[in-house]
Structure 1
Amino acid sequence: MPETEGPTRLWGGRFAGGPADALARLSVSVHFDWRLAPYDIAASRAHARVLAGAGLLDNDELGQMLAALDDLESACAAGEFRPTVEDEDVHTALERGLLERLGTLGGKLRAGRSRNDQVATDLRMYLRDHARGVAAAVVELADALLEQAGRHVDTPAPGLTHVQHAQPVSFGHWLLAHVQPLLRDLDRLRDWDARAAISPLGSGALAGSSLPLDPAAVAKELGFQAPAQNSMDAVSDRDFVAEFLFITSLIGVHLSRLGEEVVLWTSQEFGWVILDDAFATGSSIMPQKKNADIAELARGKAGRLIGGLVAVLTMLKGLPLTYDRDMQEDKEPAFDAIDTLLLLLPALAGMISTMTVRVDRLAAAAPVGFSLATEVADWLVRKHVPFRDAHEITGRLVALCAARECELEDVSDEDLKTVSEHLDPSVREVLSVRSALAGRTTPGSTGPGPVADQLQTASDKLDSWREWSIEPVVPR
């Protein structure tokens, strides 16, 4: 086939000369949007079939077009076809590749579509596809937390509020508390995917097309649920990017909170967890150090993810309809969010799955700080003492123990009576961590039974997510 002469441009007929170097350097996006190439080619196949259905390509031309697109896709995958410094964007590069294979026939594919609807379609396809990869990585981390939680259903730990000892909990319950936000993140991804499954292709630059195209056929072939209802909205809508970045930012926040807890748990002051050597780092000057760098990076990268969301929302907030070149700034934050999570999540999963929990240290810390005081108050309530009074009585008991620097169970029978006539020696039956945990039987609480139920429910949910994460977006 004859090759095109000079650089391929998707515009320029009305211009006397080419763009200035400064404009070209600012305008170019192919160095980051090249990753959209497989999706652009898939959309081109669907568009070629629609053009043939409209009588704008005959059967022979369609066959040549599809064969050339297949060959171009293979060449891209093998690295044999790459964008050049003269290609403005992924669409320009791929049209050059098509023209190299088909000559003037390749130029027919541009009929009835614009880079405006192309890029909106490509980006939706890319994000829907990679959302499933992110979901799979979230499931992997949740699995690691679930596995550790299963080992520690009965391991007592000091539950904290305000980073101070509050009430005893099981460490399995604590780990499962980090699974719940991940399950919500997975729900949000699937909910987002339903809204993102709308095809902009056929909207053209903004007004649709006078050609007899079939947007519904294109949408079906590309795995979308329906074509866009309004062509102006279709090319200017980036809600799907902003919402995706909100979800990834929230995932980042959840990972940051988990990371912060691991940093605390592994500190000398806590000493509850020991990280496997493969998932910790050392110091260049202090030979004794073992640092929870993965957990710290989880905290740090949350800021990066939130920054991407803020950048896109700020970019969008003042844009008039329809397409504006500002929207070129939508892709890099989205790509970066995916890259960041797919780098971070497996590292966190490995760290959690291989860490060693110091059961002895947790059990010893569980009753410290008068964490069984609420058990005393509840015991009084069961004796029909109003909780307001029970709270005051227990507070006086704690004050007595704090003054004497002793624990609740060390108070004599006489002292119990001195604090309140409602206190008697039988209160000691609730002054153990084991009894405190066993007494928590309501759904969602920290007792062994409810924790086992949580484990099963979370496991069942993750099984369904595993199935969703491997479903192809584009029907094959």
Structure 2
Amino acid sequence: MIKISFLYSNTALVNVMSSSKFQLWGGCFEEEPSSVLRRLNDSLPVDFRLFREDIQGSRAWAEELFQSHHLSANDNLAIQKGLDSVEKEIEQELTENGKLKDAEEDIHSVIECRLFKHSGDAAFRLHTARSRNDQSATDTRLWMLASLPKLTSAIVELITVLATRAENEIDIISAGYTHLQRAQPVRWSHFLLSHAWALRDDVTRLEEQRSRLSRCPLGSGALAGCALTIDRKRLALNLGFDDIMPNSMFAVGSRDHLVEFFNWASLCALHLSRLAEDLIIYSSQEYGIVRFSDQFSTGSSLMPQKRNPDGQELIRGAAGLFLGEAFGFSCVLKGLPSTYNKDLQSDKELLFRTYDRLLDCLKISAGSIRTMKVNIDRALNSLEPGMLATDLAHMLVRRGVPFRKAHHLVGTALLRATNLGLDLRNLPYSEYIAICPEFGTEEELKAVFSWEASVEQYTSSGGTARKAVINQLEILHIWLQKYNKECIV
């Protein structure tokens, strides 16, 4: 083994370690940073959440230094044991206090300072050839790799809730809307599944990010790489990464994985917001199709009768915040010079805020939909005969009338009914035949005015007929089973 001489002044280092705060820099500085700069600079109130990942990275880094003959076995052992003690300390303090009270500026400094108390001088060797630039980038990626599957699971849970309701409520028929105007009858299940498929795509998009996320920056140093001979691929695999970042400057300066995540989160939130908006409308007294449980409703401080869908409104509002933060972080990056700049420190604050808020939104959405009640009568009452105008046009098409002409003929019937103060169902048969003989017999015409017959026309894949909806459910269940099986493996 190569013997490394670690030159330092014992007195100076002891003074640093015993001072009110420990920092990883400052040998050439004669004054302390101003208090106002520290308020803006210190990130411990945010990045303490990375303590496990920082310790994980430090364990792997010490082991790689040892494997590459840059750290003695005794020092490696001291560091590993010391990190175990530090991890237990921090876990206990966070459990008891919810925060760390250390004076250091960030979690990296806290861990190294505490490590000195457990491992002695061996702690001073841990940061050999490592920079906070590659350290912080590694911590963030490790945290995302460990945490993002929880978002995926929450989306899958919401999809499962939607699919379960769709299966149980397949017989409910209600109005489908375009431009917020009644359009055509659809199965309630078809409406629910329209949102489930959007969320399924969100899962796919998030999983597609993993291959780019699972690349290890550690060993890139501040920007130029590692001056000591190490095996970065071995280091990456020890940390659970699939590969290494191929360029050290790219490794410490890139936040593309965060841009991807923020934009993904904003799209997922957009889908949640559109679902929330539909349910807010359907829960209004004017529609009355759904009623949210007490768990996911609130009241008014003035009006006793009010029952507000605040959970859904909060989701809808949060979607705008996700969009703003995704755009805002891209604005932070757009003018930065290469490699690391302190502007990037904001990435963790946005990451944690986005993650926490989105996870809450997903849980609120799943809980609201699982516990809400659907009023079948109000769903049926949302239907009115004019919604079957397209069905009348289709009947004419089946009798050989060109669709554009059929569209015009049904429009004429609608106008005639309006002038007579009637709807299409009650327009006399003689009026139809006067407009077009191809409307058929009176019995054939009456058969069109059936909600069940209407939805059962749409049998093609993706349609609202029972068979087509069941087919959607089968495809979705197969996907859910495959996903759950992969999670278990």
- State the partner residue of 1:125: 142
Distance across 2 between alignment mates of 1:403 and 1:249: 48
Q: TM-score, normalised by structure 2?
A: 0.93
3-state SS, counterpart of residue 439 of structure 2: coil
User: Map of 1:245-284 to 2, 5 A cutoff?
Assistant: 245-284=262-301
Distance across 2 between alignment mates of 1:369 and 1:165: 10
2:471 is the alignment partner of 1:448: no
Q: Given that residues 271 and 358 in structure 1 are in contact (C-alpha distance below 8 angstroms), is that contact kept between their aligned partners in structure 2? A: yes
Gaps of 5+ in 1: 472-476
Distance across 1 between alignment mates of 2:100 and 2:228: 30
2:170 is the alignment partner of 1:134: no
User: Map of 1:346-361 to 2, 5 A cutoff?
Assistant: 346-361=363-378
- State the partner residue of 2:50: 36
Of 395, 402, 405, 1:386 maps to 402
User: Map of 1:130-209 to 2, 5 A cutoff?
Assistant: 130-209=147-226
- State the partner residue of 1:214: 231
2:8 is the alignment partner of 1:5: no
- State the partner residue of 1:418: 434
3-state SS, counterpart of residue 167 of structure 1: strand
Between stretches 30-39 and 300-309, larger displacement belongs to 300-309
3-state SS, counterpart of residue 304 of structure 2: coil
- Go from structure 1 to structure 2 and tell me whether the alpha carbon gap of 1:80 and 1:152 turns closer, same or farther (over 3 Å shift): closer
- State the partner residue of 1:372: 388
Distance across 1 between alignment mates of 2:118 and 2:44: 20
Of 475, 480, 483, 1:457 maps to 475
Q: What RMSD over aligned residues (CA atoms) do the two structures have, in Å?
A: 1.6
- Go from structure 1 to structure 2 and tell me whether the alpha carbon gap of 1:189 and 1:211 turns closer, same or farther (over 3 Å shift): same
User: Map of 1:273-312 to 2, 5 A cutoff?
Assistant: 273-312=290-329
- State the partner residue of 2:10: none
2:417 is the alignment partner of 1:401: yes
Between stretches 457-466 and 195-204, larger displacement belongs to 457-466
2:253 is the alignment partner of 1:239: no
2:36 is the alignment partner of 1:14: no
- Go from structure 1 to structure 2 and tell me whether the alpha carbon gap of 1:374 and 1:235 turns closer, same or farther (over 3 Å shift): same
Q: TM-score, normalised by structure 1?
A: 0.95
- State the partner residue of 1:46: 60
**1:309: Cα distance to partner?**
0.6
1:363-396 deviation line (CA, Å, top 9, x unaligned): 2222x16111111111111111111111111111
3-state SS, counterpart of residue 300 of structure 2: coil
Amino acid at match of 1:111: T
Distance across 2 between alignment mates of 1:356 and 1:24: 52
3-state SS, counterpart of residue 409 of structure 1: coil
Amino acid at match of 2:399: K
2:334 is the alignment partner of 1:317: yes
Distance across 1 between alignment mates of 2:104 and 2:487: 34
Distance across 2 between alignment mates of 1:272 and 1:75: 53
Distance across 2 between alignment mates of 1:80 and 1:352: 34
3-state SS, counterpart of residue 160 of structure 1: strand
Gaps of 5+ in 2: 1-13
Q: Given that residues 114 and 204 in structure 1 are in contact (C-alpha distance below 8 angstroms), is that contact kept between their aligned partners in structure 2? A: yes
Amino acid at match of 2:154: A
Distance across 2 between alignment mates of 1:48 and 1:358: 63
1:184-241 deviation line (CA, Å, top 9, x unaligned): 1100110011211111001110110110111111211111110111110010110100
Distance across 1 between alignment mates of 2:265 and 2:183: 32
Distance across 1 between alignment mates of 2:482 and 2:264: 19
Of 451, 466, 469, 1:433 maps to 451
3-state SS, counterpart of residue 422 of structure 1: helix
Q: Given that residues 135 and 469 in structure 1 are in contact (C-alpha distance below 8 angstroms), is that contact kept between their aligned partners in structure 2? A: no
- Go from structure 1 to structure 2 and tell me whether the alpha carbon gap of 1:58 and 1:85 turns closer, same or farther (over 3 Å shift): closer
- Go from structure 1 to structure 2 and tell me whether the alpha carbon gap of 1:73 and 1:208 turns closer, same or farther (over 3 Å shift): same
- State the partner residue of 1:474: none
Q: Given that residues 385 and 425 in structure 2 are in contact (C-alpha distance below 8 angstroms), is that contact kept between their aligned partners in structure 1? A: no
Q: Given that residues 416 and 424 in structure 1 are in contact (C-alpha distance below 8 angstroms), is that contact kept between their aligned partners in structure 2? A: no
Between stretches 456-465 and 206-215, larger displacement belongs to 456-465
Aligned residues: 469
1:289-316 deviation line (CA, Å, top 9, x unaligned): 1111111111011112112111211100
**1:403: Cα distance to partner?**
2.2
3-state SS, counterpart of residue 301 of structure 2: coil
3-state SS, counterpart of residue 184 of structure 2: strand
Distance across 1 between alignment mates of 2:422 and 2:487: 54
**1:282: Cα distance to partner?**
1.1
Work out which structure has the larger RCO, using CA pairs closer than 8 Å and 6 or more positions apart in sequence.
1
Amino acid at match of 1:409: R
Distance across 2 between alignment mates of 1:274 and 1:469: 34
- Go from structure 1 to structure 2 and tell me whether the alpha carbon gap of 1:315 and 1:215 turns closer, same or farther (over 3 Å shift): same
3-state SS, counterpart of residue 110 of structure 1: coil
- State the partner residue of 1:27: 41
Distance across 1 between alignment mates of 2:266 and 2:137: 22
3-state SS, counterpart of residue 445 of structure 1: coil
- State the partner residue of 1:111: 128
Percentage of identical aligned residues = 36
